[in-house]
Amino acid sequence: MSNTKLGHLVIKKATDINLLGPTRVTQIMLPLIRRARGRVIMMTSGLCKVASPVRGIHCGLLAAIEAQAECLRKELRSRGVDVVVVAPGEFTAGNSWLSDQVILEQARDMWAQLCQEQRIEYGKDYFETAVRSLETKYTKCQ
């Protein structure tokens, strides 16, 4: 499989999980929420406001969820439905699911999926520095 196809698969998976999944669940539940004059709560992150190297797709998808929530808020206000965005800050304490090893493995996979032009453009030093900046930040209790 070509690097371009792998890159598209990564983007598709991220989009399915972070944007399309929440959108589908919201659409399915919306008739019940409207009837109950309930509340839609969408989870994003501060990352949609503070971009981070090597996380462009993730940051963009979170920003899309926030924009979607704002649209829903305006559409549903007259129907008595609240739309709330929860955007927690960074949290690391107790996160045993993310380790330096996992981050490095993901980074190696990302690097392998880049085409030669992208590798030359970014350079291995830049890429490794960006990944290393995530290691301690997201894996060590503070």
Residues whose CB is less than 8 angstroms from the CB of residue 98 and which lie 6 or more positions away in sequence, other chains included: 138, 139
pLDDT at 4: 64
DSSP letter at 80 equals T
| Domains identified in the chain and CATH numbers | 1-89 (3.40.50.720), 92-141 (no CATH)
Beta strands in the chain (DSSP E): 39-43, 82-86
pLDDT in tens, 48-63: 777 777 778 888 999 9
Split at pLDDT 50, 70, 90, the class of 67 is very high
CA distance 2 to 95: 34
- The single residue of 59, 71, 115, 141 carrying the catalytic annotation is 59
- Is the pLDDT reported for residue 20 higher than 80? yes
| Averaged pLDDT, 17-37 | 95
For the chain, percent of residues with pLDDT exceeding 90: 37
Tokens encoding 61: 């998808």
- Is the pLDDT reported for residue 14 higher than 70? yes
Split at pLDDT 50, 70, 90, the class of 1 is low
Active-site residue 59, yes or no? yes
pLDDT at 142: 45
pLDDT at 78: 95
**pTM for the predicted model, two decimal places:** 0.67
The SS3 of residue 3 is helix
Burial of 36 (0-12, 13-18, 19+ CB in 10 A): exposed
